[in-house]
Structures are given as structure tokens and as C-alpha cells.
A and B are shown apart, each in its own frame.
Chain A
Amino acid sequence: MNREIKPSEEQLAYATILDWGMKLGLIGIIITFVIYLFGIFPAYISVEELPRYWKLNVHNYLEVTGIQSGWTWLKLISKGDFLNFLPIAFLAGLTILCYIRILPIFIKKKDTPYVILTLLQILILLLAASGILKVGAH
């Protein structure tokens, strides 16, 4: 890129957090999946049993397996299959961290419209991540 054209401070800050987080998350996904495949921790649903469940819709799947929706997977984190949720949730939450990083930059620049946009986006993503918005039965 031309040396004279430099992206804004907030854009570079966002990129830095995204870069580190993305690498960490993807490495985490591979490590936890290897742990799962090699059965280092026992799985909640054994891999041999999985084909019985993956054809069910999500409501029947939760009912039959006794898995609860929302953040309750954290209680099952010692199980090999649910350990994989940790890097997946981290990757899904990474954008929130990036927004939290750029918020003070917009505040410092007194860029009111973007302070409001950033705050609203953080709230929306936190709402999605909270588990309040779940889907009921078909």
C-alpha cells in the first residue's frame, strides 16, 4: 500500500485485536477438536452415537440428549465435545472485544455518531450472546 495512505487509528486498532483473537480462536478450535477426537476427556455424546442425533431438528436433539440451551454448555466444559464450544464462543465474541477496543478512540475524537453506533452495536451483540434470545419449539 502507498505509504501516504494510512487507515484510521480505530481501523488499525480493530485490525490488531481481530488478528490476535482470530489466530488464538482458530488454534483453540484445532487443539480442542484433537482433544475431542482422541477422547482425552470423555464426551457427553460419544462419537459413535452422534449419527443418531445429528439428523434430528434442534428441538428434538435437545430433548433427546437432555442438553439445555443457552450458556449451560459451560457446566459441561469438562466433556470433550463441549470443550469445543470454548474457542467457538471466543470467535463469536471476538467482534465484541474489537468494538470495546475502538469505543475509547471514538470518544477521544469526540465522534459522537460513531460513539453511539459503537455502543448500540456492543449492546446488540451482547443481547445476542446473552442467551435471552432463544428459539422455542417448532
Chain B
Amino acid sequence: MEYNEYFKNWEGVAIRVYFVLFLLFLVFFFWDLSLASEVSSHIIEGGSRFPWWAWPLLLFIVTFVLGIIVVLGGVGGGVLFVPIVGGFFPFNLDFVRGAGLLVALSGALAAGPGLLRRGLADLRLSLPLALIASTSAIVGAMIGLSLPKNVVNTFLGLTILGIVVIMLTAKKSEYPEVKKADALSQALKIYGVYYEPTTGKEIEWKVHRTPLALLLFVVIGIMAGMFGLGAGWANVPVLNLLMGVPLKVAVSTSKFLLSITDTSAAWIYLNSGAIIPMIVVPSIIGIMLGSIVGVRILAIAKPKIIRWVVIGLLAFSGLRALLKGLGIWT
């Protein structure tokens, strides 16, 4: 018994050491990257000393790693992509946000059919929320592209740090209790049933507080469009904790919702010229391939460590965006 506890303690210490080492590696890697991007942006006035393919290749490698992390950490691609690529690559934030939206959109489009067919994402629940969020996302995208870079960076940093707080504090409820469905959701017939294979039971669900959720989706849509972040981090708590949607349906419906919300914002970026294929395509391919590898690793990974890696990465890149916006770490 003592022998086992001794090893358990050592296992815990080893995991913490690996985690700290991994975070230090990421900090130094991105620090080095940010210095390189600054050097290159000075040099390119007269022509870059780096070959043109260096940054897209690095982008592909970073997004591949991000693809693995997002699957293991259970977060969307956009939320990590924008602050990390925006903070440590030489690309202007306008193009990074455009690429971030397309990365989030591609992931949502790829996941959508399976989630809809298995009844995990719910179309009737999505349609009213998507209408509100996608309309707001248009407004958000237009605001985001009109504001000066330092203002966007400052708000982006604050938002990312806010997401870190949400991730650290928000509770999740597997099967929230909804005593009585609200009048609006009853009128729209928003309810459902899905099969839960882990328990072998059919789970019936209904929702409440729909009008308040619709109001919150206005804010979520604006932020998604403004920062190109995707919005799974905000969708899930609203669907699960506020409306009382079971966690699995909330996560799946949130993912599907992104395919509609991000579509409208993506068009604004596309029509405003904020899309550079050399940034967008390696990112989409990198994150998709990374996600495929991530799914394979998922079976053997320790989710608690990955969650802390995601939180650490977000905190670091959020701080970087905030300091960049304030002109402290440019």
C-alpha cells in the first residue's frame, strides 16, 4: 500500500515537472518566434532575409500542434489560433482573424454532419440562436476591421484572459435540471431526446431562459466576429448552464452553431480583402491533420494535464496580446 502511494506521489510530481518543462518550452519557443518576427518585419522593408516559405511552414507546424491540443483540450481551433499566431507571427492581425474564422469554420463544417446525424447537435435549438449570433457576428466583424490594431489587441488580450477565468471557474452540468420549459422554447418546440451509450439510456431534454440566452448570443456573435475566435468557449456555458441543455448536446450544438455564426463573419473578412491564402490554407490543413492525430492520442492522454496546457497557452498568449495592445511588449 505504502509502496503504491510512494509511486503515485512520484507519478504526480513527475507529471507536474513535465508540465512545467512543457510550458517553459512553449514560452521560449514563442518568445523566440516573436523576436524572429520582429527582426523579419524590420528587414523586409528591403526584402526578407528568410525564404518566403519559412513562415507558412512554421505556421503549418504550429497549427498541426494546435490541432492536437484543441482535440485533447476540448476547445475550438480559433480560440488558440488567433492569439498565438497573432502574437508570435509577423502577419497583421486583420489576416490572422480572417484565417482564424476560416479555421474555426472548417472545423465546424467537418464536425457538423456527424453531430447532426447522431442527434447530438440539434437543428431546432440551433436555428434561432444562429440567426441572432450570425447577425451580430457581421456587426462584430465590421467593428473589428474598423478599429486600430492596438485597440483590437488590447480587447483580444482581455477577452482571452477572461476565457481563462471562465475555464478555471465555470462548472459543467452533465444533465441540468429544467423544471419547466419557457414559453418561447415551447412555442418553437425546442426539446429533444438522444441516446446515451455510456448508460444505455435515452435522455430527454428541454430548455428554459431562452430569451436571456438569445440576448447573450448577441454578445457572443459580436465577439466571434470581432476577434475571429470562434465562440465555443461562450456557447457551451450558455447552452449548458443557462438554458439547461445536457452537456453532450450543448457541446455538439455549439460546434454546429459555429458553422453558421462564423460563415457570416467570414464573408465580411473575405469581402474586405482580409484573406491571404498562404496564411489560411496551411492553417486549415495543419489544424485538421493535427486534430486527426489528436483523436488517436485522446485514448491514452491525461485530460487534466492537457487542460492545464490549454489554460497556460491561453494565459500566455492573452497576456502577450494585451501587452502588445498596450505597447508594453511590441
Binding site for B on A (CB under 8 A): 1-2, 4-8, 10-12, 14-16, 18-19, 21-22, 25-26, 29-30, 32-33, 36, 47-58, 61-62, 67-71, 81, 84-85, 88-89, 91-96, 102, 113-114, 117-118, 120-121, 124-125, 127-129, 131, 133-136, 138
Question: Could you write out 15 A-B pairs with CB less than 8 Å apart?
Answer: A1-B119, A5-B195, A12-B116, A32-B277, A47-B278, A54-B95, A58-B273, A61-B94, A62-B273, A67-B273, A88-B277, A89-B270, A91-B105, A121-B260, A133-B271
Determine the chain A residues whose CB is within 8 A of the CB of B302 once the complex forms. Answer: none
Q: Which residue of B lies closest to A118 (CB)?
A: B127
Q: Which residue of A lies closest to B51 (CB)?
A: A48
Binding site for A on B (CB under 8 A): 40-41, 44, 47-48, 50, 52-53, 55, 90-95, 102, 105-106, 109-110, 112-114, 116-119, 122-124, 127-128, 130-131, 134-135, 138, 141-142, 145-149, 187-188, 193-195, 202, 259-260, 263-268, 270-281, 284-285, 288
Q: Are A55 and B44 in contact (CB under 8 A)?
A: yes
Q: Are A114 and B279 in contact (CB under 8 A)?
A: no
Looking at the assembled complex, report how far the CB atom of A65 sits from the nearest CB atom of chain B, in whole angstroms.
9
Q: Are A7 and B117 in contact (CB under 8 A)?
A: yes
Q: Are A124 and B131 in contact (CB under 8 A)?
A: yes
Q: Are A85 and B277 in contact (CB under 8 A)?
A: yes
Q: Are A133 and B123 in contact (CB under 8 A)?
A: no
Which residue of B55, B127, B195 has the most chain A CB atoms within 10 A of its CB atom? B127
Looking at the assembled complex, report how far the CB atom of B263 sits from the nearest CB atom of chain A, in whole angstroms.
4
